[in-house]
Amino acid sequence: MTQIDERVVEPIPTAARRPRKSRRGGLAWTFATKVMIGLLTIWLSSVVVFAAVEVLPQDPALSALGFESTPEQRAVFREANGLDDPALTRYLRWAGGIVQGDFGTSVVSGRPISEELGPRLYYTTVLALASVTLTVIIGLPLALIAGRRPGKAFDATANLITLTLHAVPEFAFGIVLAWLFASKLGILPLVSTGVENGELSAYVLPVVTLGVMGISYVYRFSRVGVIEAGQAPFIRSATLRGVSPFRVTTDHVLPVASSAVINVVALNAIFLLSGVVVVENVFSYPGLGSLLITAVESNDLPVIEAVAVVTSALLVAINLIADALVVLLNPRTRGATK
């Protein structure tokens, strides 16, 4: 018989006995880190915007007083507005005002920029939210149907239509809609200035233009997420157990694909913000895009800086909201917060 060497074996500490970091605290720290990165991004964008405007050969005093002004008058204007101060001093004064909600004064109108920026931001936000909602209402169901049966007739047809829409520029699609529904049929206003008077029909053309152009983006990327989620083993197991396709899609596929879908919607919102400049000018929509074009045409540099910083803040806010929704809707991260 083999003699067994009996030795006292000390118990090995298990993972359960080790102090573990709170998952809720970890998620809070992660989100706080993202917020700090977002604030840093906004600050860096303000530096880049200020530096870009600084190197422009345009004289704000000339934009404010016109070509008829004398050099002496322009010199007095620059001194009165602190334009002769060092660049760092002017940046700190400008950035400090933004933190307090003061975006400076327009050199063209002489009015505080915040008075015009607030309503423009509101109308752009309404336009963006309505357009994103339209893309989700149409693009997500199409992706769910096509992604559950890839390669079939519906999938091929939806791919063809969305790729065709994606190839059309926003301004071209908007002009076609304006020609059809405003000029020919006369059922919608050609310009959207009526939104300032509460005219709801003035929202239709810009919202449809942005929304339809964004459907392709949401559909194509959400479809990939649905296909990848549908190939998971537990989803195939649910299908073999006889669970209905509708329940498999809503109870299993959609929660798993929610992270990808939310990120796609957030990226689509960023994409729509880039198209806002074009669409707002096509329909004379009183938002940030049309304000930016007007400021560029009149060389109103403070307004250009203000719109650029506000747009950067919107992009950061969209990303933060998307990250928070991913945590709330993803089953694994949602369970981790309990």
Among 241-245, 292-296, 317-321, 330-334, the range with the most confident prediction by mean pLDDT is 292-296
The yes-or-no verdict on residue 62 having pLDDT over 80 is no
Domain ranges of the chain: 23-99, 119-336
Type of residue at 38: G
Which residues are within 8 A (CB) of 138 and not within 5 positions of it... i.e. 6 or more apart?
211, 215
Cα separation, 104 vs 93, in Å, equals 10
Confidence of residue 14 (pLDDT cuts 50, 70, 90): very low
Which residues are within 8 A (CB) of 67 and not within 5 positions of it... i.e. 6 or more apart?
none
Task: Give residue for tokens 């047809």.
Answer: 157
* 231: enclosing H helix or E strand: none
Angle in degrees, 0-180, between the axes of helices 153-167 and 113-148, rounded to the nearest 10 = 150
Which residues are within 8 A (CB) of 72 and not within 5 positions of it... i.e. 6 or more apart?
none
| pLDDT for the residue numbered 250 | 65
Type of residue at 169: P
Cα separation, 260 vs 253, in Å, equals 11
Cα separation, 132 vs 207, in Å, equals 9
Cα separation, 254 vs 241, in Å, equals 19
| pLDDT for the residue numbered 329 | 61
For the purposes of burial, counting CB atoms within 10 Å of the CB of 228, is it exposed (0-12), middle (13-18) or buried (19 or more)?
A: middle
Per residue in 285-327, pLDDT tens? 998 888 888 888 877 888 888 888 888 888 888 878 877 776 6
Confidence of residue 23 (pLDDT cuts 50, 70, 90): low
Task: Phi first, then psi: give them for residue 278, nearest 5 degrees.
Answer: -70, -50
Contact 259, 331 (CB under 8 A): no
Which residues are within 8 A (CB) of 108 and not within 5 positions of it... i.e. 6 or more apart?
63, 64, 295, 298, 300, 303
Cα separation, 170 vs 149, in Å, equals 30
DSSP strand E in the chain: where?
none
Angle in degrees, 0-180, between the axes of helices 204-230 and 113-148, rounded to the nearest 10 = 40
- Classified as helix, coil or strand, 105 is strand
Per residue in 137-193, pLDDT tens? 888 888 888 877 787 888 888 888 888 888 888 888 889 999 999 988 889 998 888
The yes-or-no verdict on residue 47 having pLDDT over 60 is yes
Cα separation, 273 vs 128, in Å, equals 7
Mean pLDDT in residue range 200-224: 86
Confidence of residue 204 (pLDDT cuts 50, 70, 90): very high
Mean pLDDT in residue range 115-138: 88
Average pLDDT for the chain: 78
The yes-or-no verdict on residue 106 having pLDDT over 70 is yes
Cα separation, 226 vs 232, in Å, equals 10
Cα separation, 303 vs 211, in Å, equals 28
Of residues 261 and 157, which shows the higher confidence score? Answer: 157
Task: Give residue for tokens 């983006």.
Answer: 217
Where would I find the H helices in 231-300?
Answer: 233-240, 245-247, 254-282, 288-297
Of residues 337 and 85, which shows the higher confidence score? Answer: 85
Mean pLDDT in residue range 202-214: 89
Contact 279, 285 (CB under 8 A): yes
Cα separation, 95 vs 291, in Å, equals 21
Fold of 119-336: MetI-like fold (1.10.3720)
Confidence of residue 338 (pLDDT cuts 50, 70, 90): very low
| pLDDT for the residue numbered 337 | 43
The yes-or-no verdict on residue 32 having pLDDT over 70 is yes
